[in-house]
C-alpha cells in the first residue's frame, strides 16, 4: 500500500487494496483547495467576526463572507501557497493520486490562486495530478465587465470551469439562468469540462438541477445544434435536493441527465452537513444524492469529493477522501467495496457493476 498510515478497519483495507491494485488510484474530484484550512479567526478578524459567529449562518450568508476571506491575510500569495502545499502533502499521505481543485478567480483575488495552482501542478507532477478549475464565487454583474475578463482568462488557463448559478440570483447580478448560459457557452467555446454546484439546499422546491438541465437542453438542441457527445463533459456537484422530491420526479431528472451524459460528483460530508430545514415535508431520505439510483438509471457517477476542508463551510473534514466514501456507504446503505473503490478512483461503472447494484439494492 502506498499510504503511510494503518487503515482503521478491514473494510477500509479492502477498499484501498482495490484502489491500489485494480484501479487507477484515489481521486478527490471536487475541492475548494485555495480555501482549505481557513477556519481561523485570524482570517476574518479584520471584518470583526469570529469563525464561531459564522458557523451559525446559512449557506448564502456564508457565501456572502467569501470576499472577507479574499481581502484578508488568508489570501496573500504566501498564505495560499502554504495552505495548498499542506493540502497536497496531506492528500498524498492518504493515497490521493489526482485532485480537482477550484481556484477563486474574482475581482478581489484576480489570478493569485491560479498562479499558485499552476506552479504546484508542475512541481507535484508524478506525485499527484492536479487539475485546476476556474471558479468565481462572487458572481457576475453587467455593471462590472472586469469580472468576466478575469474569469475568462482564468478559464483559458484552467483544466475545467466551475459554476454556481444561485450566486447570481440577487439584484444587481446577471440572473441564475444567465449564469448557466454564460458558463455553458464559455465551456463549449473553450472546449473545457464543467462542474456546476446544484441541488445544495435539500428541499423539494430547489429547482437548480432541473433549471441547469433545461438550459443545457436548449443550448445544445436549439442554439448550437450540437449533440451531447460533441459537447464538453458536464458534472453536477451535490444534487442533494433530488433526493427530497417525489420518486417519479427524481426518475425524470435522472433520465434527462443520462440523455445528456451529465455526471455527478458526490461530496458526502459536505452534503450531510448542509443546514436542514425541518419545517419542510419531503420523502424520508438522507442528505446526500441518491447516487446508486442515479447509476442504475444510466447516470455516470464521476467520483467523490471533499468539497470544503477545514473552512467555514465544512469544519469537520480531512483531505482523506476515503472518509467521504465511508459516509456515502452508510448514508446510502451500500457496502460493495469493489464498486465503492471504483467510484473513489473515478472509474466508470460497467454493466456488470450496474447489475450488481440493481440486484443488491433494488430487486425484491
What residues make contact with Zn ion under the rule CB under 5 A?
A: 307
Judged by beta carbon, residue 166 or residue 307, the one nearer Zn ion is: 307
Spatial contact of 325 and 15, defined as CB atoms under 8 Å apart: yes
Q: How far apart are CA 55 and CA 311, in angstroms?
A: 10
- DSSP 8-state symbol, 44: T
The smaller minimum CB distance to Zn ion, of residues 176 and 307, is found at 307
Q: 322 near 27, Cβ under 8 Å? A: no
Q: Minimum Å distance from CB 296 to Zn ion?
A: 26
Min separation Cβ 62 and Zn ion, Å: 12
Compare residues 288 and 357 and give the one whose CB is closer to Zn ion.
288
To Zn ion, the closest distance from the beta carbon of 135 in angstroms equals 8
State the minimum distance, in angstroms, from the CB of residue 164 to Zn ion: 8
3-class SS of residue 332: helix
3-state secondary structure of 98: strand
Nearest distance in Å: CB 32, Zn ion: 6
Residue closer to Zn ion by CB (options 19, 314) is 314
Q: Can you count the helices (H) and strands (E) in the chain? A: 15, 8
Considering the complex, state which of residue 235 and residue 307 has its C-beta at the smaller distance from Zn ion: 307
Query: Closest separation between CB of residue 162 and Zn ion, Å?
Result: 8
Strand partners, 104: 135
Strands 301-304 and 263-266: parallel
Backbone angles phi, psi at 173, to 5 degrees: -100, 170
Alpha-carbon distance values, 338 to 10, 24, 293, 326 (Å): 13, 13, 18, 13
For 129, phi and psi rounded to 5 degrees? -85, 120
- CB closer to Zn ion out of 155 and 357: 155
Question: Which residue's Cβ lies closest to Zn ion?
Answer: 307
Amino acid at each position: 500500500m502506498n499510504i503511510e498510515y494503518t487503515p482503521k478497519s478491514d473494510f477500509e483495507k479492502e477498499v484501498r487494496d482495490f484502489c491500489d491494485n485494480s484501479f487507477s488510484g484515489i481521486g478527490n474530484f471536487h475541492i475548494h483547495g485555495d480555501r482549505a484550512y481557513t477556519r481561523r479567526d485570524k482570517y476574518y478578524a479584520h471584518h470583526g467576526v469570529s469563525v464561531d459567529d459564522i458557523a451559525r449562518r446559512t449557506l448564502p450568508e456564508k457565501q456572502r463572507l467569501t470576499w472577507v476571506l479574499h481581502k484578508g491575510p488568508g489570501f496573500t500569495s504566501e498564505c495560499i501557497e502554504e495552505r495548498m502545499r499542506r493540502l497536497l502533502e496531506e492528500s498524498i499521505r492518504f493515497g490521493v493520486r489526482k485532485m480537482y481543485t477550484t481556484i477563486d478567480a474574482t475581482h478581489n483575488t484576480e489570478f493569485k490562486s491560479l498562479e499558485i495552482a499552476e506552479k504546484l501542478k508542475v512541481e507535484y507532477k508524478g506525485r499527484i495530478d492536479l487539475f485546476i478549475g476556474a471558479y468565481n464565487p462572487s458572481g457576475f454583474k453587467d455593471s462590472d465587465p472586469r469580472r468576466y475578463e478575469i474569469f475568462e482568462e482564468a478559464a483559458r488557463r484552467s483544466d475545467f470551469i466551475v459554476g454556481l448559478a444561485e450566486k447570481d440570483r440577487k439584484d444587481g447580478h446577471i440572473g441564475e439562468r444567465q449564469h448557466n448560459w454564460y458558463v455553458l457557452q464559455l465551456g463549449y467555446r473553450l472546449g473545457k469540462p464543467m462542474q456546476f454546484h446544484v441541488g445544495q439546499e435539500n428541499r423539494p422546491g430547489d429547482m437548480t438541477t432541473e433549471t441547469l438541465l433545461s438550459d443545457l437542453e436548449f443550448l445544445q438542441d436549439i442554439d448550437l445544434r450540437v449533440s451531447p457527445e460533441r459537447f464538453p463533459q458536464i458534472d453536477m456537484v451535490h444534487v442533494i435536493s433530488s433526493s427530497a422530491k417525489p420518486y417519479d420526479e427524481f426518475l425524470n431528472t435522472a433520465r434527462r441527465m443520462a440523455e445528456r451524459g451529465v455526471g455527478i460528483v458526490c461530496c458526502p460530508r459536505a452534503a450531510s452537513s448542509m443546514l436542514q430545514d425541518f419545517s419542510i415535508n419531503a420523502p424520508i431520505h438522507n442528505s446526500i444524492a441518491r447516487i446508486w439510483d442515479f447509476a442504475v438509471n444510466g447516470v455516470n457517477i464521476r467520483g467523490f469529493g471533499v468539497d470544503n476542508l477545514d473552512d467555514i463551510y465544512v469544519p469537520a473534514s480531512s483531505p482523506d477522501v476515503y472518509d467521504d466514501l465511508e459516509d456515502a456507504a452508510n448514508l446510502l446503505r451500500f457496502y460493495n467495496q469493489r464498486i465503492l473503490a471504483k467510484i473513489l478512483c473515478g472509474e466508470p461503472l460497467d454493466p456488470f457493476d450496474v447489475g450488481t447494484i440493481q440486484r443488491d439494492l433494488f430487486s425484491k
